[in-house]
């Protein structure tokens, strides 16, 4: 069955969801997007979207920053996403990509709310990186400053910076790159946030370090501090502090929780998954699968419950 896409205000078969090669969104990277995960419940009866409202609200904020606009309210866009999954008959783990972009065919990089277009598609997605600990390298490319290109908008054009860093990492034999700010502090991975553990304390750089205001990151901080009572501090991290960390992992909608085995070929924690990372990953998995009653308000069911 051909996938159904939401595009130009309606649901349509994928082959009809096309843009011109003249589109400003294509030519200049004028847009912003979101990535949303849906998880199949243990008994297979439900598909739950993780923190749907927060993701759509952040997309709305990104569009506002870029002088673009969504095709409706946060609630209306959330309902479009749910309907899209129903029309595609999705019941297994899924990734949803809404993207808002400037779809004028006029020349020149101009952001104009009247030319805003929204497309939403979905696709099956398992592990984005690896279920095993990965090797990462600090990139020679620096993360673009917030005052040059707003990371919190999740802007499409900003991912050229990520792509260059990840290409370099792969060329050097690493799975992923770690980008530093122009000031030399740890910012994030190419598309993931960074956490380290030192002396039992979980540490992560703030979103003011030219990185995305991450929803998975915020969720993990809440789960660590409120549910697991793991001490957490938000502060700047230096490059060499990564080398002496007891544990390190990357996180994001796609990456979920991905342990790091080495940084610049320096082993972290003996190259094994550490106890804090393991506890947090297990709890996160329980939450997204609907096993934690106190966190079920983070999940939005796609399919009507029996009896409704």
Query: Which residues are known catalytic residues?
Result: 154
**Residue corresponding to tokens 């009572």:** 229
Report CA dihedral (294, 257, 278, 291) to the nearest 10 degrees. 30
Angle between helices 215-222 and 52-65 (to 10 degrees): 140
Helix/strand/coil percentages in the chain, nearest 5: 30, 30, 40
**Cβ–Cβ < 8 Å for 139, 189:** no
Q: Which two tokens stand for residue 238?
A: 């230096």
Helices (H), the chain: 24-28, 52-65, 74-87, 159-171, 215-222, 239-243, 275-288
Q: Between the CA of residue 148 and those of 15, 164, 186, 203, what are the distances in Å?
A: 36, 17, 18, 27
Determine phi and psi for 74, rounding to 5 degrees: -60, -45
Contacts of residue 146, defined as CB under 8 A and 6 or more positions apart, other chains included, come to 152, 208, 210
Strand duo 232-234 + 201-204: pairing: parallel
DSSP 8-class letter at 152? G
């Amino acid at each position: 069955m051909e996938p159904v896409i939401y595009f130009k205000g309606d649901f349509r078969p994928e082959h009809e969801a096309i843009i011109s090669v003249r589109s400003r969104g294509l030519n200049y990277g004028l847009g912003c997007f979101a990535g949303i995960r849906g998880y199949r419940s243990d008994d297979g009866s439900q598909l739950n979207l993780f923190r749907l409202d927060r993701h759509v609200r952040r997309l709305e904020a990104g569009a506002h920053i870029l002088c673009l606009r969504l095709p409706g309210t946060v609630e209306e866009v959330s309902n479009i996403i749910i309907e899209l999954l129903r029309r595609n008959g999705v019941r297994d783990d899924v990734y949803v990509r809404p993207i808002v972009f400037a779809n004028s065919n006029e020349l020149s990089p101009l952001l104009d709310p009247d030319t805003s277009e929204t497309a939403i598609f979905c696709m099956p997605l398992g592990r984005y990186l690896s279920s095993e600990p990965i090797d990462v390298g600090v990139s020679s490319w620096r993360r673009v400053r917030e005052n040059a290109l707003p990371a919190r908008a999740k802007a499409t054009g900003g991912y050229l910076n990520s792509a260059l860093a990840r290409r370099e990492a792969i060329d050097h034999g690493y799975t992923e790159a770690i980008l530093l700010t122009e000031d030399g502090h740890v910012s994030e991975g190419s598309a993931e946030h960074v956490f380290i553990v030192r002396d039992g304390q979980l540490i992560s750089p703030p979103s003011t370090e030219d990185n995305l205001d991450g929803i998975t990151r915020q969720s993990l901080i809440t789960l660590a501090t409120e549910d697991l009572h793991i001490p957490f501090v938000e502060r700047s991290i230096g490059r060499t502090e990564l080398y002496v960390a007891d544990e390190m992992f990357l996180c994001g909608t796609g990456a979920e929780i991905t342990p790091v085995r080495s940084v610049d070929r320096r082993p972290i924690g003996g190259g094994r998954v550490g106890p804090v990372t393991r506890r947090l990953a297990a709890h996160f998995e329980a939450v997204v699968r609907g096993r934690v009653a106190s966190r079920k308000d983070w999940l939005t069911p796609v399919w009507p419950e029996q009896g409704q």
